[in-house]
Structure 1
Amino acid sequence: MVVGGARCAAVLLLAFAAARAAPDVDGPLLNGNFEYPPNRSQMNGTRVTGAHAIPYWKAAGPVEYVESGTDRPGDGMVLPVPEGAHAVRLGSGASVRQQLSVTRGARYSVTFSAARTCGQSERLRLSVVTLVIHHSDDGGGAEDPACGPLVDAVAIKTLHPAAEAAGGNLLRNGGFEEGPYVAPGSTCGVLVPPMGEGAVSPLPGWMVMSYSKAAKYVDAARHAVPGGSRAVELVAGVEAALVQEVDTVPGSACRMEFSVGDAGDGCVACGPELQPMRVVAAATGAQGTAAVEYHSRGTGGRARGALSFTAEGSRTRVVLYSSGYHTMSDGSGSLCGPVVDDVSLVCA
């Protein structure tokens, strides 16, 4: 994952078989927020010198333990700790790892908060069975030793198969209620990266299809969602889409319905100088697409859209994407977009 903004929350799904069975526990890892400080005898300033200095973690390479408000050496820039008061900064080739107890054969999503500390793009990689967060440069030039991403708020969540929907809805997890862990108090949402065909998705039933862009998973505790407690915000315009494939009977009449709204986070898309949000629905077998235009004031709301078509084959793919690009009204330039929710597909 490339860290491309000052602060973001990201998720990468890890699916693996554990060495032994253990109870499922959803939430932060042990010292996942790095608030338990390292042993000072194994530090040189902010630099962690002992592999096991940070409680419950094993560090390798140039790892720093950073406190909120700390200035970056050389220019006095304040380092943006993503969550709480402490985080770790990973230099080039550095990693932190933790051994997890999980359930054999179960599927999990791992979330973490990350922030970059300079204009240089940073790349983070997660691997298992031991959870490893590793930093490497992006190959675009010389590595700046003053740079390196901050990592914080590492958590895990068991992914459960989406239950069969009621009312003849063929789509799984159409309300997006099943998904990655969202930390209490987090206002960022969770970025869900694109997944390849056949890969396990952090959004059971759905895939984020894109070359490199993500969708944002949001919850009702901190965002406006059209229905239920979770939804997906399409923040990458036409560069990312939500996709699901289902079994259908060839020749059957199908109707896809979906809700469009805004997250109530200041993503304004109305007025003479701003294009409205526009979500497009498409499906294999459909003669065209259906689009819902939503004039967002950034305070929440919803509209409903529908697409009718005849199933062409035994498998039908449905697609939802935003046809435009939007930014927050606070002047930060942060990307935002329409929220989609309550998606259904009924065929008869």
Structure 2
Amino acid sequence: MRRYTEMVQGSRCIAMFVLVCMAARGASAITDGLLPNGNFEQAPSKSEMNGTRVTGRYAIPCWEIAGSVEYIVSGQNQGDMVLPVPEGAYAVRLGNGASVQQQLSVTPGTHYSVTFSAARTCAQAAKLDVTVAPDSDELPIQTVYTSSGWDSYSWAFQAKDGVVSLVVRNPGVTDEDAACGPLLDAFAVRTLLPPQRNADNMLANGDFEEGPYIFPNTAWGVLVPPMDEDGYSPLHPWMILSTTKSVKYVDAAHYAVPRGARAVELVSGAESALVQEVGTVPGRAYRMEFSVGDGADGCAGSLAVEAYAASGRVKVPYESSGTGGYKRGVLDFTAAEERTRVVFVSVYYNMKPDGTLCGPVVDDASLVSAESHARRLL
């Protein structure tokens, strides 16, 4: 009887989500923003709780759980540590091997980016497996980029069917204590539009305006973690090449952005690189221009970005007061192959006074042939 009730609850939640989508943008489309009960504010019934542990598979409205999942109240204590919650008053904690999942009504063939907030507790090498079949990636969350302990992460996928399951799982290899599992909160989604290249800019999404959803009430941006080069980046076609470190996607509402509404902060020093591959003509000369500055987030001191492509390389220093501002950088190079990688990397490791990582902001990157650039100047 209980299993039947759980299945009915799950079906009702899926049906509610589809109805919302039908009212907003059609049955096959999702609405950008917070997922249904994406912040876990709709609580499980007390009959399906054992202390903080959720006992019913469909007990959390709009979610399906597996394994040891706890329902956490903001301010709850874990030893000497107080567990905060970034969105509302509730979050969930995943024990070893535990997962939460939600079904999404999507458009087949379309790319989407998922944003969610996560915090590690006492496990030092925490990771999360994020899956929308057949796409799957392991996201490292051991590095903390905010003073609150919570960071927002992004991940992208291409929908293969009209209804897909978003699954986030704690692989459970970091600690035997289930209480050391990661906390999760605030799941949102955004439809990604295919960035276009044109004669004025060979770099697609050079202004970084197309990217993952940023929660309007959070001031810490969204991390874009490293990924397999065959995957689809939330900042497509930009890739983040690293072993465990991320870059931060920031908005003009909370940061100083050189142009437009979005930019990228290189918060991991030389441990992560922002990369895009473009088609070039061997032997032809090219010019790339870009902005380097600080995000007015208190990241003061000597900042510097190194950009390189083919045999060309330039270092653009920027002395920051931590209150905003930027300068333009220029890189001239001659292509050696039909495909050329454009790379941005932070030269230094920078920290704010509170000890959190920060770095230079990169924005408004453009690439044209030297011949096209010369014609513009005429």
TM-score (norm 2): 0.80
SS of aligned partner of 2:77? coil
Of 194, 215, 229, the match for 1:161: 194
Give the superposition deviation at 1:87. 0.4
User: 2:266 matched to 1:262?
Assistant: no
Other-structure match for 2:154: none
Other-structure match for 2:305: 279
Other-structure match for 1:88: 92
Listed one character per residue, the Cα deviations across residues 53-83 of structure 1 (whole Å, up to 9, x for unaligned) are: 11000111111111111112xx242112232
CA distance in 1, matches of 2:58, 2:225: 31
Return 5+ residue gaps in structure 1 as ranges. 1-19, 270-275
SS of aligned partner of 1:244? strand
Give the superposition deviation at 1:278. 0.8
Q: Is the 8 A contact 1:257 1:344 kept in 2?
A: yes
CA distance in 2, matches of 1:91, 1:317: 40
Higher relative contact order (CA 8 A, sep 6+): 1
Give the superposition deviation at 1:198. 2.6
Listed one character per residue, the Cα deviations across residues 146-200 of structure 1 (whole Å, up to 9, x for unaligned) are: 31111000111111111334x6211100000000110111111111011222321
Other-structure match for 1:247: 279
Other-structure match for 1:212: 244
TM-score (norm 1): 0.87
Other-structure match for 1:317: 341
Other-structure match for 2:176: 143
Q: How does 1:93-242 map to 2 (within 5 A)?
A: 93-128=97-132, 129-139=164-174, 142-165=175-198, 168-242=200-274
Q: Is the 8 A contact 1:283 1:318 kept in 2?
A: yes
Q: Is the 8 A contact 2:224 2:234 kept in 1?
A: yes
Of the structure 1 ranges 93-102 and 242-251, higher mean CA displacement relative to structure 2 is found in 242-251
Listed one character per residue, the Cα deviations across residues 7-60 of structure 1 (whole Å, up to 9, x for unaligned) are: xxxxxxxxxxxxx97124211111000011111111122211111111000111
Q: Is the 8 A contact 1:81 1:115 kept in 2?
A: no
Other-structure match for 1:10: none
CA distance in 2, matches of 1:210, 1:132: 24
Letter of the structure 2 residue corresponding to residue 88 of structure 1: V
Return 5+ residue gaps in structure 2 as ranges. 1-25, 133-163, 372-378
Of 298, 305, 313, the match for 2:329: 305
Which has a greater percent of helix?
2
SS of aligned partner of 2:83? coil
Identical amino acids, percent of aligned pairs = 59
SS of aligned partner of 2:204? coil
Of 351, 361, 373, the match for 1:339: 361
CA distance in 1, matches of 2:218, 2:260: 18
How many residues get paired? 314
CA distance in 2, matches of 1:93, 1:122: 12
Other-structure match for 1:295: 319
CA distance in 2, matches of 1:256, 1:30: 43
Q: Is the 8 A contact 1:194 1:213 kept in 2?
A: yes
Give the superposition deviation at 1:120. 3.3
Shift in alpha-carbon separation, 1:162–1:146, aligned structure 2, 3 A: same
Listed one character per residue, the Cα deviations across residues 211-266 of structure 1 (whole Å, up to 9, x for unaligned) are: 22111100111111111000000011111111111112222221111100111111
Q: Is the 8 A contact 1:82 1:114 kept in 2?
A: no
C-alpha root-mean-square deviation of aligned residues, in Å? 1.6
Listed one character per residue, the Cα deviations across residues 286-332 of structure 1 (whole Å, up to 9, x for unaligned) are: 2xx11111111111110111011222232221111111100112x2x
Of 319, 326, 347, the match for 2:350: 326
Shift in alpha-carbon separation, 1:71–1:180, aligned structure 2, 3 A: same
